[in-house]
Chain A
Amino acid sequence: MSNGTSVKGGGTFRFGLLLLAFPLMLWLFLLVVLPHIDLFLVSMRERISYGKYEFSLINYIEFFSEPLYWNTYVRTAVMSIFATFLTLVIGFPVSYYIAKFMRGKGKNVLFLMCLIPFWVSELVRTFGWMILLRESGVVSNFLQWSGIADGPVEMLYNDATIMVGLVYTSMLFMIVPLVSVLDSLDDSLIEAGYDLGGNGFTVTRDIVIPHAMPGIASGCIVVFMLTLGNYLTPNLLGGKDSLWFTEQIYTQFITRFNWESGSAFGFLLLVLSSLIVWVGLKLSKQTLSETVG
């Protein structure tokens, strides 16, 4: 009797859960799963003539036989990893300061200050950097006025500027998980580290970083994916020389109107980001569920 009731109760519960999850499932299916299936199918065909397609691997072969494509691909991956690393190195001390040194109101104010730039659209923020760094921009004018430079200085359109832009754009996504994970680190654990004979370096290495690992991993995953898939920042700050893989995809789809090739590139980018995230998790001995949860 009681068994029957519990089964019935379980059924109701499951149906309720399904109902609640339905919008999310629909969203995921229509906007993520379906387009990717289509993307994959499109990438695996070759256009023979108008409206006529055949199964082919030509798009992938083209990618590997054209050095510009895979050079851009590798460069984007390397630059993204470096940008992620840089964001971590800059973001960690900032997060540590917010989480461990600030108390009460000051903490909220500092946290808010990290958030404020994100009230403005990414486009506007990137234009902000351009206003500062371009030949006729604020920094260039200041250098000339103060006599440090003789003529206009162009600071846009190089890798360093792209890096600055990428780190700046993704900083918040590193700081939020780091602050929350460092907040959960009991002060007495750090104190015990010093008490047990540690110094700043050993305490950070053996206690703070192992504790912060899930936050570091989740911050790095988000920043890496955002950077790898970023189009605006490399394009505006790096100009024609930026050679970012998303720009290649854009060119295939929009300029060349070659959807087959564009789809293949898009799929390759997905594989790349999944692969690097997987390797990153393996190397840091983290699991995805730990990182997300």
Chain B
Amino acid sequence: MADLKLDQIHKSYGAVDVLHGIDLDVKDGEFVVFVGPSGCGKSTLLRIIAGLEDITSGDLMIDGDLVNTKSPRDRGIAMVFQSYALYPHMTVYKNMAFGLKLDKQDKAAIDARVREAARILQLDQLLDRRPSELSGGQRQRVAIGRAIVRQPKVFLFDEPLSNLDAALRVQTRLEIAKLHQELKSTIVYVTHDQVEAMTLADKIVVMNGGNVEQVGSPMQLYHHPQTRFVAGFIGSPAMNFTKVSIDKVEPGKVTVSIPGGTPSVLPFDVDQNELGNQVELGIRPEHLSLGDGGELTVHGEVDVVEKLGDSTYLYLKLANGDRVTVRAPGHSRVKIGETVTASVSAGAAHLFSGGGKAFAKVDCPAEYSADE
């Protein structure tokens, strides 16, 4: 167990830069999730930490040691691969013992550690089987077990759930969360699935195009996204965005006009220079409610209705052509073609500049804040 420090990590393949200076601090025992769309560099960053890719420039420290040029074996890490990477010619037991055998541990110690890990992961009955005789979920557990027995300083998970079906994914997600509580070890986990990130992480690192967009706790990212990208990436269904123009700027207050809606006063600190500019308003579907009870209202025609039982998603088309998703109660009887009004309290709104940066919210209401 150890902390991890990344200082200006750059990576390029020939002329192509894939990581543009990543800074990150991971504390001992923290569960960190790298999340982002495919091609954002999250897997490359994980492979750099694992020592499977060279660092072009920058420093990587594990437990206070500079490990830039150290081979994977000397870094004290253990990785769980997306494909599990189990050895088909070895039994489950041998797969799990392989790392320890390479480490020249004595037989009794190897046996004790393999059996202990097998007990934690409920693999006791499967030790003599080959990977080909196991189900996807069992293989996944063997792959995790192979990492656990090595008692690494840092665990690395590369999209470990992506090969499992939906039901098993939820179950294994819970098991990984429990495992982290039990082992209390530092974990770096890569996924493209924001639900996995939200449910597992102590700290989420949202990446985009080789840069870190934002680092924070799941609730910080949900309530206080610093960029439009983070706002759109975290949360499901995704945040609604629509272009609005700034009509009036006062200290701690800004008046915007929504196309097809009434001008609204929102609690944001906006520079006077922004007056008259087009900015983007973001509202989460789950914060909108039908009717005009809130300070900020939108009108639109419903063109798709998705009934999920506990809730109903209404897809509204606004006057300016933008689409807005509203999460209505499950018993909602709204039909396609109806024109509805939805509203939200001003404190739930997000406002992003033309460059995609969030404006600072003033006096955020407790229900829309990550502060506890």
B52 near A197 with CB under 8 A, answer no
Q: Is the CB of A197 within 8 A of B73?
A: yes
Q: Which residues of A contact B73 (CB under 8 A)?
A: 194-199
Q: Does residue B89 face the partner (Cβ distance < 8 Å to A)?
A: yes
The answer to whether B81 touches A196, judged by C-beta atoms less than 8 angstroms apart, is: no
With a cutoff of 8 Å between Cβ atoms, the chain B residues found around residue A189 in the complex are: 85, 87
**Within 8 Å of chain B (Cβ to Cβ): is A125?**
no
Q: Digitize B79-108: 1 where CB-to-A-CB distance is under 8 Å, 0 elsewhere.
A: 101110101110000000011001100000
User: Are B51's CB and A194's CB within 8 A?
Assistant: yes
- Give the contacting residue for A196; candidates B52, B88, B89, B102; CB below 8 A: B102
Partner pick for A195 among B78, B83, B88, CB 8 A cutoff:
B78
Asked if A188 and B51 sit within 8 Å, CB to CB, the answer is no
Chain B 52-91, CB-CB to A under 8 Å as 1, else 0, gives 1000000000000000000111000111011101011100
Residues of B within 8 A of A202 (CB): 102
Contact partner, A191, options B52, B88, B98, Cβ 8 Å: B52
Asked whether any CB of chain A lies closer than 8 Å to the CB of B115, the reply is no
Interface window among A93-101, A166-174, A206-214, A238-246:
A206-214
Q: Say whether, besides A191-B52, A210-B89, A211-B89, A196 and B83 are in contact (CB < 8 Å).
A: no
Complex contacts, A196 vs chain B, CB 8 Å: 73, 78, 98-99, 102, 146, 150
The reply to whether A191 and B81 form a contact with Cβ atoms under 8 Å apart is: yes
Assess the B85–A197 pair: CB atoms within 8 A: no
For the complex, give the distance between the alpha carbons of A207 and B82 in Å: 18
List chain B residues, Cβ under 8 A from A206: 98, 102
Contact of B85 among A186, A198, A199, A210 (CB under 8 A): A186
| Among A189, A191, A207, A210: residue with most chain B CB under 10 A | A191
A192 within 8 A of B: yes
Given contacts A188-B83, A189-B85, A192-B79, contact A197 B99 (CB under 8 A): yes
A207 near B87 (CB under 8 angstroms)? yes
Question: B81 and A188: CB pair below 8 A?
Answer: yes
Residue of A nearest to B77 (CB): A195
Cα–Cα, bound, A188→B78 (Å): 13
| A176 CB, min distance to chain B CBs, angstroms | 22
- Which residue among B71, B77, B78, B85 has the maximum number of chain A CB atoms within 10 Å of its CB? B85
The interface centre, meaning the residue of A199, A206, A210 with most chain B CB atoms within 10 A of its CB, is A206
One of B52, B87, B146 near A194 (C-beta < 8 A): B52
Docked complex Cα distance between A196 and B75 (Å): 11
- Kindly state the separation between the CA atoms of A195 and B102 in the bound complex, as whole angstroms: 11
- Complex interface: chain A residues within 8 A of B89 (CB): 210-211
A-B contact list, 13 entries, CB within 8 Å: A189-B87, A191-B52, A191-B85, A192-B85, A194-B72, A196-B73, A196-B98, A196-B99, A197-B102, A198-B73, A199-B71, A211-B88, A211-B89
Which A residues contact B (CB, under 8 angstroms)? 186, 188-189, 191-192, 194-199, 202, 206-207, 210-211
Instruction: Supply 16 further A-B pairs (C-beta < 8 A) apart from A197-B73, A206-B102.
Output: A186-B83, A188-B81, A188-B83, A191-B52, A191-B79, A191-B81, A192-B79, A195-B72, A195-B73, A195-B78, A196-B150, A197-B99, A198-B102, A206-B98, A207-B87, A210-B87
